[in-house]
Amino acid sequence: MILVTGGAGFIGSNFVLDWLAEHDESVVSLDKLTYAGNLENLVTLKDDERHIFVRGDIGNTELVAKLLKQYRPRAIVNFAAESHVDRSIHGPEDFIQTNIVGTFHLLEAVRGYWSGLAGEEKTNFRFLHVSTDEVYGSLAKDDPAFSETHRYEPNSPYSASKAASDHLVRAYHHTYGLPVLTTNCSNNYGPYHFPEKLIPLMIVNALAGKPLPVYGDGQQIRDWLYVKDHCAAIRCVLEKGRVGEVYNIGGWNEKANLDIVHTVCDLLDELRPLSGKWEVGSGKDTHPTPHSSFPTYRSLITFVADRPGHDRRYAIDARKIEHELGWKPAETFETGIRKTVQWYLDNPGWVSNVQSGAYRQWVEKNYMGRA
């Protein structure tokens, strides 16, 4: 079996769901269930014996050591982190605590476990650390994309904390021989994305007729990858990656933020048009009714003050993973973003639970009395 940390978050839950759809190998998910962790993402696994959910902190060495002893995983995939740049600007402490101190404690527990293994169990063990392209800093317009040897220049408390965790993982390999792999991925999008991040925020705000806040001039560039392609890349690195190596993961999809917002608006115009169907007070639709004077969703776009220290451009050079391991994304941006918008349209219950905080009550309900 494998141990996945942060398995109730956006990428972690997609990873667990895809893993169990493709393998019969069991998964233990360890997640603290912060505001970003949502057991509703894993609800389809409720009666699946191959999945064990444990609520806990990666920084709790005793708990992690106990889980490792009990389940003897052959690999650990570490997604657990505080992940939102804006939150790291308003309050960096949780980022230092989980992303740096938490990763350190996790590594210590794993080192203790791995040292006690022998033979093939020890040789084949892997610790895969999931990281981000943000550790490389910001690119100018014509700079080449980030390769694995690009120097680290993190600019936000979030990226600095992820950079520190990458260095710890590297050090545990070089010093103790722990068989680690590190992946640095670009911006993900897709199902179960918490609506504090650009794409899901734009979708849910647009559907509610609320302003679509674009930071600064909206010309910052991100390199977008459909989350299931990221999950496939991680499976590929876990299976075939060379121990101690770093693999950059990206979809060759550089887009300016404003173009992303336009695309989301245009897809909503097509899939859930404002005109005709949504007359105020028609009573024919249970979705929130935007103000009837908005002709298209684009008219909701509002430019707002920029993010402090905002990185201008990220771009991933994904040639290493493509050439060495044979991974390629299955989705284009056009197919992936259509699936994503459709997923949010099809899952209004998930959206409103996440927004209302009702999913926390669901957790209480599901876990009370089970301890």
Which residue from 231, 324, 250 is spatially nearest to 16, judged by alpha carbons? Answer: 231
CB of 132 to ligand NAD, least distance (A): 4
317 as an active site residue: the answer is: no
- Asked if 224 and 253 touch (Cβ cutoff 8 Å), the reply is yes
Instruction: Give the integer Cα–Cα distance in Å for 334 and 340.
Output: 10
The least distance separating ligand DAU from the CB of residue 215, rounded to whole angstroms, comes to 4
Nearer Cβ to ligand NAD (297/350)? 350
Q: Are 130 and 78 in contact (CB under 8 A)?
A: yes
Per the listing, tokens 């708990």 go with: 63
In the complex with ligand NAD, the residue whose CB is nearer, 187 or 205, is 187
**Nearest distance from residue 205's CB to ligand NAD, in Å?**
18
Q: Hey, how many other C-beta atoms are within 10 angstroms of the C-beta on 189?
A: 28
Nearest distance in Å: CB 118, ligand DAU: 37
When CB distances to ligand NAD are compared, the closest residue is 9
The two tokens of residue 180 are 């680690």
Write out the residues near ligand DAU by the rule CB under 6 A: 83-85, 132-134, 186-187, 197-198, 201, 213-215, 220, 222, 257, 307, 314
Residue with the closest Cβ to ligand DAU? 132
Q: Which residues pair with 223 in a beta bridge?
A: 254
214 binds, among ligand DAU, ligand NAD, none (CB under 5 to 8 A by kind): ligand DAU
- Does 136 participate in catalysis according to the annotation? no
- In the list ligand DAU, ligand NAD, none, the entry touching 129 (Cβ below 5 to 8 angstroms by class) is none
Q: Considering the candidates 31, 57, 134, 311, report the single residue annotated as catalytic.
A: 134
Handedness of CA 1, 243, 181, 231 (dihedral sign): negative
Q: Closest approach of Cβ 265 to ligand NAD, in Å?
A: 21
Q: Which is nearer to ligand NAD, 134 or 268 (CB)?
A: 134
Contact at 8 Å (CB) between 78 and 127?
yes
CA R_g for the chain: 21
- The token pair at 293 is 């004077």
* Cα distance between residue 138 and residue 82, in whole Å: 20
Token pair listed for 315: 């771009």
Q: Which of ligand DAU, ligand NAD, none does residue 255 bind (CB under 5 to 8 Å by kind)? A: none
User: CB 130 → ligand NAD: shortest distance, Å?
Assistant: 4
User: Which of 48, 11, 293, 14 minimizes the C-alpha distance to 132?
Assistant: 11
The residue among 102 and 336 lying less far from ligand NAD, judged by its C-beta, is 102
* Comparison of 172 and 314: residue with beta carbon closer to ligand DAU: 314
State the DSSP code for 313: B
Beta bridge partners of 247: 183
E-state strands within 98-211? 126-132, 180-185, 187-189
Residue 37 touches which member of ligand NAD, ligand DAU, none, C-beta under 5-8 Å by kind = ligand NAD
Tally the C-alpha atoms within 13 A of residue 181's C-alpha that lie toward its C-beta.
25
71 flagged as catalytic: no
Return the amino acid letter for 201. Answer: L
Nearer to ligand NAD, 133 or 278 (CB): 133
CA–CA gap between residue 142 and residue 80 (Å, rounded): 33
Closer to ligand DAU by CB, 138 or 178: give it.
138
For binding to ligand NAD (CB under 6 A), which residues are involved? 5-6, 8-12, 31-34, 36-37, 57-59, 79-83, 98, 102, 130, 132, 162, 185, 187-188, 194
Look at residue 213 and give the partner it binds from ligand NAD, ligand DAU, none, a contact being a CB closer than 5 to 8 Å depending on partner kind: ligand DAU
Which among ligand NAD, ligand DAU, none contacts residue 222 (Cβ within 5 to 8 A by kind)? ligand DAU
Phi, psi of 249 (to 5 degrees): -125, 125
Considering 40, 133, 229, 331, which one is annotated as catalytic? 133
**Residue 201 partner contact from ligand NAD, ligand DAU, none using kind-dependent CB cut-offs of 5 to 8 Å:** ligand DAU
Catalytic member of 31, 40, 57, 158: 158
Q: How far apart are the first and last CA of the chain?
A: 23
Residues known to be catalytic: 133-134, 158
